[in-house]
Amino acid sequence: MSSIDLARRAFLRRAALTGVAGAAAPWALNLSLVGEAAAATNPNDYKALVCVFLYGGNDHGNTLIPADSTNYAKYAGIRSNLAVSQAELAATTLTPATALPGGMQLALHPSLAPLKTLWDQGRLAAQLNVGPLLQPTTLAQYNARSVPLPPKLFSHNDQQSIWQSDLPEGALSGWGGRIGDLMLSGNGGSVFSCISITGNSVFLSGQQAVQYQMGSNGAVAINGISRSLFGSGTAQSALRSLITAPSSHLFEAAYSKVTKRSIDAEAQVTAALAGLPVLAAPFDANSALSNQLKMVARMIAARASFGVSRQVFMVSLGGFDLHDNLSENHPGLLAQVANGLVSFQAAMQELGVANQVTAFTASDFGRTLSINGDGSDHGWGGHHFVLGGAVKGGRFFGTAPAVAVSGTDDVGQGRLLPSTSVDQLAGTLASWLGVSATDLPLVVPHIGEFSTRDLGYFA
């Protein structure tokens, strides 16, 4: 069934429930009115997704590296001076539940070694060659441009937006926010349904659900409204009224809305965090990613005080656009990813929610397999990790691409043609979180184009 048909079915069902007539696009509907309410009053029925976005386009070629002799030789031939040595891969060669075809073995980059334990424990899975697709696309179809392709391929800002929302830059909602829309009523409309510990992005914006943004040090209180300002209580209340004033000017109204949300949320967040026991799980305070993940962990620890049963979080790490200095800079970034994820999983264990929280990595795109001397260039499909107690870890999902340039699986220079779509990855995660099959097209509009809607990450 086409994605449009699925979406129409979902729309009609929802329209019947809310009495909405008309032919508005499905995602213009107030999804929050019709979300499948999870058992909001049961604190044990809690689930969360955590998106770990790697900004810049992570070099997948040096993230999961061919370790068997045949494929390693191909890899080394293409990657030349940027190839990780075969000896270094011994300790991180992965043994999956089902072997890869053709005797291929993949190893984690040595800097990702901390993830091997999680792999062996069955908590970490790897999704191979995933990227934006509008429908299943063969190499011949790509070369002929005979099927619709995602717009603005290879452009950072647009591919970031497409990963997060299915639409290029300018999109008004992301799939994380659309999940939030469906979970909103079960969360009592909580502003803490979609939380970003990093900057503004479209991922967590929904139609009703709005991204609540906070820093890794918590919510920021506005001093000038908390106590007398320049010695004057009148000035203190004047400040408050000015910064939250209504306005008929659209930009002023938008700014005021953000300020109001900041003020309304801050006291609650600060109090909730202050009441928590200190986490025992160690996080690297020198890593921006670890600091963000630690705050996610703390907010999950505080979930009861927010009255939420379903949440979507976002954290990020930048610096992955390694056109140059790949060998120098990639290891450190991967180490941050590995350490951050390990710390985070430990915290989830500590909080007793390891089976209820799933983290996953995402990025603008993968990169070329061929190199430019000291780095790689923009690609398309890439490899990503899915982590959590509910995950069927120790497995590869998707299809391992041929280790080649201008081969059967790439569109030139080793830029991978994805064999799994972001919609399928997002759909699988959304379903696990509780989005019904009927509602799924509202979250991931192109899911109907793919015969496999659930990739099977979860038991």
Binding residues among 264-303 for other proteins as defined by CB under 8 A: 265-266
Q: Which is nearer to other proteins, 33 or 281 (CB)?
A: 33
The contact pattern for other proteins, residues 38-67, with x = CB under 8 A and - = no contact, is -----------------xx-----------
Q: Which is nearer to other proteins, 207 or 424 (CB)?
A: 207
Q: Is 210 in the site for other proteins (CB under 8 A)?
A: yes
Q: Is 189 in the site for other proteins (CB under 8 A)?
A: no
For other proteins, the binding residue among 33, 37, 229, 390 (CB under 8 A) is 229
For other proteins, the binding residue among 250, 274, 278, 280 (CB under 8 A) is 250
For other proteins, the binding residue among 61, 375, 381, 445 (CB under 8 A) is 375
The contact pattern for other proteins, residues 303-332, with x = CB under 8 A and - = no contact, is ---------------x--x-xxx-------
Residues 6+ apart with CB under 8 A from 156: 56, 57, 321, 364, 378
In the window 94-153, what residues touch other proteins (CB under 8 A)? 151-153
φ, ψ of residue 298 to 5 degrees: the values are: -65, -40
For other proteins, the binding residue among 164, 190, 205, 343 (CB under 8 A) is 205
- CA–CA separation, 14 vs 326, rounded Å? 49
Structure tokens at 450: 């793919």
Q: Which is nearer to other proteins, 90 or 242 (CB)?
A: 242
- CA–CA separation, 421 vs 309, rounded Å? 28
- In angstroms, the Cα distances linking 49 to 1, 42, 142, 202, 386 are 28, 18, 32, 16, 10
Nearest distance from C-beta of residue 233 to other proteins, angstroms:
8
For other proteins, the binding residue among 109, 294, 330, 378 (CB under 8 A) is 378
For other proteins, the binding residue among 241, 278, 280, 285 (CB under 8 A) is 241
- Cα-based angle 363, 369, 375 (whole degrees, multiple of 5): 80
**Burial bucket for residue 367 (CB in 10 Å: 0-12, 13-18, 19+):** buried
What pairs with residue 378 in β-bridges? 367
DSSP conformation letters of 115-131: HHHHHHTT-EEEEEEEE
For other proteins, the binding residue among 233, 275, 332, 352 (CB under 8 A) is 233
For other proteins, the binding residue among 24, 258, 267, 304 (CB under 8 A) is 258
Nearest distance from C-beta of residue 136 to other proteins, angstroms:
21
- Cα-based angle 447, 452, 453 (whole degrees, multiple of 5): 45
Q: Is 78 in the site for other proteins (CB under 8 A)?
A: yes
Q: Which is nearer to other proteins, 78 or 391 (CB)?
A: 78
Contact 202, 174 (CB under 8 A): yes
Contact 217, 337 (CB under 8 A): no
